Amino acid sequence: MRKLFIISVQMILLGFAATYSFGQESQQDVQKLYQDPLIAKGDGFEIRQSYVNRFQEFIEQGNEKTTQAEYRKGALQLKLFALEAERMNLDTSLLEKELGEKEDEISEDESFEQEVKLRYLYFKNILDTYVLDDLIIESYYYAHPNMFADENYESGYIPLDMGVQEDIRGRIVGKMYRKILQKEMEELKKKYHVEIVGENK
Amino acid sequence: MNFVSYKKTVQMICSLCLLLLIASCSYGPASQATVLYPEEKKEVNELWPDKELKSLFAHYWFLRFDGRVKDSFAMEAPYFKAIVNENHYKLYTKGAKKNELIDLTVLDIIKETNRLYEIHYQIRFKNAEGEEMLRFRKDNWLKMHDHWYHVLRDKMIFPM
């Protein structure tokens, strides 16, 4: 009988503790929601102000500053590009090798750093694979004859072969990157059903 | 209605249509800038590689001064349209809309390559204050797949 009583008390206490801690968590959640407002959400992710602040910190490390609206846009881009890079299984270890990073140099905020790397890989992948119409490449080649002049060729010009085409493609895509990024963002926003919350709607 | 009166009615309708057509051509909106040649160098007119470019050059500058950005942007080279944002182009060209084009005088037409031509010309216009202004310019035009494209070159604004 005594044993049964002790067990019952323990159960009640455990129950109370559980209720109490649950109540405390809820309160903390509410507080967190209040202090860390939601900025945007989409399929499988949400962006809170703390994430935007982390992004701002990261940008300002490079001695650049911009508006809060731009930081929010940038944070959303970082998240979407990183998600897409993950979905495409882009390998960040190749980038780590390229940058010469060692394991002991991994920063404290590992997941954020990982997202930055994934974003870079995704961006690089977009530019590397962006297809340009032949007419765009041809028009650049024929409008800039001095750029391709070479006396070693009978015609006086380097022919428009695969190498030259790739060189021109790189030049043009490099100048189009803002347009490309904007288009990509619009597509990803639709794909992930992104909803912008708050003042930047 | 007998055959003679029917024939007369048809003749009248046809004449009316013809008159309307002539009227619409005479008083319709112009789409070409006035292109002149220097008195001492009239032969420049013979240097056009084809009639199409001669007409497109006059049409392009008419559009630029008329502020028809979409239409003049469509005439730019494909690589330019790929790189440059249409709104950026609009900002670049909006100065011309404030001016009133008087005429263009073609001074020289130079064949750079089989596809690329450079046109030297002077442009006469009235600015927003009503003053008559004169500018000397060079224009490049590229022919690809039987189609002429304007090549806008401004290294400061559009470094390519």
The domain ranges of chain A are 1-35, 37-200
Quickly tell me which residue has 């130079």 as its tokens: B110
- Give the strand pairing for B100-111 and B35-36: parallel
Contact B35, B103 (CB under 8 A): yes
Quickly tell me which residue has 């794909």 as its tokens: A191
pLDDT band at A14 (very low <50, low <70, confident <90, very high): very low
Q: What is the ipTM of this complex?
A: 0.79
The answer to whether A175 contacts B160, with C-beta atoms less than 8 Å apart, is yes
* Chain A residue nearest residue B139, CA to CA: A143
The answer to whether A142 contacts B113, with C-beta atoms less than 8 Å apart, is yes
For B83, the closest of A133, A138, A172 (CB atoms) is A172
pLDDT tens readout for residues B40-80: 888 899 999 999 999 999 999 999 999 999 999 999 999 99
Task: Taking residues B135-157, report their average pLDDT.
Answer: 93
pLDDT of residue A102: 52
Contact B102, B124 (CB under 8 A): yes
CATH code, residues A37-200: 1.10.4030.10
The answer to whether A143 contacts B83, with C-beta atoms less than 8 Å apart, is no
Q: Most B CBs within 10 Å: which of A135, A171, A179, A181, as the mutation test of the B interface? A: A135
